[in-house]
Amino acid sequence: MIMKEIKREKRQKPLIVIASNRGPFSFQQEENGSFTVRRGSGGLVTALGSLAERYQVLWVAAAMSDEDRRWAQSNEEKIQHVEGIYLRLIQPDPDAYELYYNQIANPLLWFIQHQLWDIPRSPTINAETWQAWRDGYAAVNRQFAETIADSVKHTDHPVIVFPQDYHLYLVSGYLRQMLGDRVQIQPFLHIPWPGPDAWRILPKGMRDAMLYSLLGSDRIGFQTQRDAFNFVQTCRFYLPDAHSLGSRNSINYAGRKIEAKAYPISVDVEQLESLVEEPEVRLLRSQVLNNTGDRKLILRVDRVEPSKNILRSLVAYRALLENHPEHHDRVQMLALLVPSRMEVYEYQNYLREIMAEAGMINAEFSDELWEPVRVVVGENYHRAVAALQLYDVLMVNPLADGMNLVAKEGVLVNQRDGVLLLSEDAGAFYELGEHALIVPPFDIYSTMEAIHEALNMSEDERHRRAEALRELVRRSGVRRWFQHQVEDAMQALR
Ligand code: GDG
């Protein structure tokens, strides 16, 4: 019924299918049984907002909570129209989902792609890993593909499917088997794609399945050229029948040409520029200001995540206070940390180490008026945006990061001509690096020197750099990011 509706409506327009682990909405059930919808904050939701007027959009995602599941079960129709988007939630078997999410995607793939393994000790691939791969990762990916195939089977529109990120590497292959060439398949990977060496950790059976599946796509979107290039090299290195004929940006496989292309993600410029005017953000801004006083603010905003390299920035800050006592009582470091994967031992432990290091810095350097570093753990996006307006130095020093949106948000909303300290291993480096101070993520000495340089930078230079950065972000934007991907897929449909 709903598919017939999709069919009648906007007849000539392509149907865009987004597939992602987490969907754009969450549901809450009220006492009277009805559901209220809460819109997620991800960039893709925003990007689609404007596209939904021009295209039909179907979003397939996994139900995240019992209420999401109840919402999905309460509807006779499998696909519902919610805020301009058609939505279909899959309900994986909880055991399969656990294996897919907590055994393969988050520990194994995330750790390989951010190169976080301490390889003399881990990982150990054992029978459980293989079972998690088959009964978890592959099974849930197949369920996504089956759901997409079922949702589009009656439409005569051109269909473009955009599977998102490392949770769904096997969707392209399954979909190609199920639907043949009648769909365009174009995954986008939000996280880094490392070179061939990093992938030796993944056993050949899993690696081949993942790479061959991705080669079932028409083109694959990455954050940077570097990721796209690494993907091409990985395929050439491991797959004897994948070639790169006269191009660094595509693979020829099974008579088809699969493009690897960079689409750097960005932020919602309009939304952020209006958010900073909201009363709640203003209030939080004055709280941050009260706390910092007239000291210079060195800020970082991250999930508690080892790849963000929070600990080394604290160590570098300690080195600054040791080597440059002129900054005592003139600076404050503020780390706004969003809890993430707190059930995982490595993440808990990482947070403990951060708190201990911050505590030691305060123990050593504070006086009755000055608290050298504050670490605030909790979720508050408005507070993050408020603080980003006030930094003198923004510390973005990840070991590996697909893009890092904090860097882009920061330079857009900052009001103090603050200086961006940016790791050369953040995707954002390729767009913003020219006007930032570059910090090599492992090098604490250079990081300390960069903080010192930023704190001493002339107003003119700060202004020049900050203006250039702001303009770069203003000219991009998340709508354009997605529009480029849609245009490329449309081009191929013609
Ligand atoms: C992955 C990739 C890639 C901050 N405080 C809160 C909060 N934030 C916002 C930030 C920013 C977002 O969360 C974090 O985005 P990042 O890009 O910095 O990092 P990841 O979460 O690792 O994102 C990354 C991104 O995907 C997009 O492709 O750039 O490389 O790793 O917008 O301002 N959000 C909420 N509460 C807070 O307290 N909800």
Q: Rounded to an integer, what is the distance from CA 266 to the centroid of its chain?
A: 10
Cis peptide upstream of residue 123 (ω within 30 degrees of 0): yes
CA pair distance 471, 371, nearest whole angstrom? 34
Q: Ligand 1: which of 405, 409, 429 to mutate, most ligand atoms within 8 Å of CB?
A: 405
User: Is the pLDDT at 400 greater than 80, yes or no?
Assistant: yes
What are the pLDDT digits (tens) for 17-27? 999 999 989 99
Return d(Cα 401, Cα 105) in angstroms, integer. Answer: 16
Read off the pLDDT band of 41 (50, 70, 90): low
How distant, in Å, are the alpha carbons of 297, 370, 372, 450, 456 from that of 327? 11, 12, 10, 14, 10
pLDDT at 1: 44
Quick check: 140 pLDDT over 50? yes
Q: How far, in Å, from the CA of 188 to the mean position of ligand 1? A: 16
CA distance 46 to 56: 15
The bridge status of strand 437-439 relative to strand 256-262 is unpaired
Q: Which is it for strands 80-82 and 256-262: parallel, antiparallel or unpaired?
A: unpaired
E-strand ranges in 204-247 read 219-222
Fold of 2-265+480-493: Rossmann fold (3.40.50)
In the chain, CATH 3.40.50.2000 covers 2-265+480-493, 269-475
**Ligand 1 atom at minimal distance to the Cα of residue 401:** 30
Range name among 42-56, 93-107, 159-173, 250-264 with the lowest pLDDT average:
42-56
- Which pair of structure tokens corresponds to residue 180? 């043949």
Residue 190 CA: nearest ligand 1 atom is: 28
Ligand 1 atom at shortest distance from the alpha carbon of 41:
39
Q: Which helix H or strand E contains 467, and what residues bound it?
A: helix 459-475
**DSSP conformation class of 201:** G
Q: Which of 394, 450, 392, 437 is nearest to 417 (CA)?
A: 392
- CA of 198 relative to ligand 1 center, distance in Å: 24
CA dihedral of 231, 233, 235, 239, whole degrees rounded to 10? -170
CA torsion angle for 219, 225, 230, 231 (degrees, to 10)? -10
pLDDT, one tens digit per residue, over 291-329 is 999 999 999 999 999 999 999 999 999 999 999 999 999
Query: What pLDDT score does 57 carry?
Result: 92
What local confidence, expressed as pLDDT, does residue 486 receive?
93
- Residue whose CA is at the smallest distance from ligand 1 atom 5: 381
CATH 3.40.1180.10 fits 269-475, yes or no: no
The set of protein residues with a Cβ atom below 6 angstroms from ligand 1 is 41, 190-191, 265, 301, 303, 338, 379-381, 384, 401-406, 409
Strand ranges across the sheet with 250-253: 219-222, 256-262, 250-253
pTM, entire model: 0.95
Q: What is the pLDDT of residue 75?
A: 80
| Residue 294 CB-density burial (10 A; 0-12 exposed, 13-18 middle, 19+ buried) | exposed
Where is average pLDDT lowest: 146-150, 216-220, 261-265, 480-484?
A: 480-484
What mean pLDDT do residues 474-482 have? 91
Tell the burial category of 53 from Cβ atoms under 10 Å away from its Cβ (0-12, 13-18, 19+): exposed
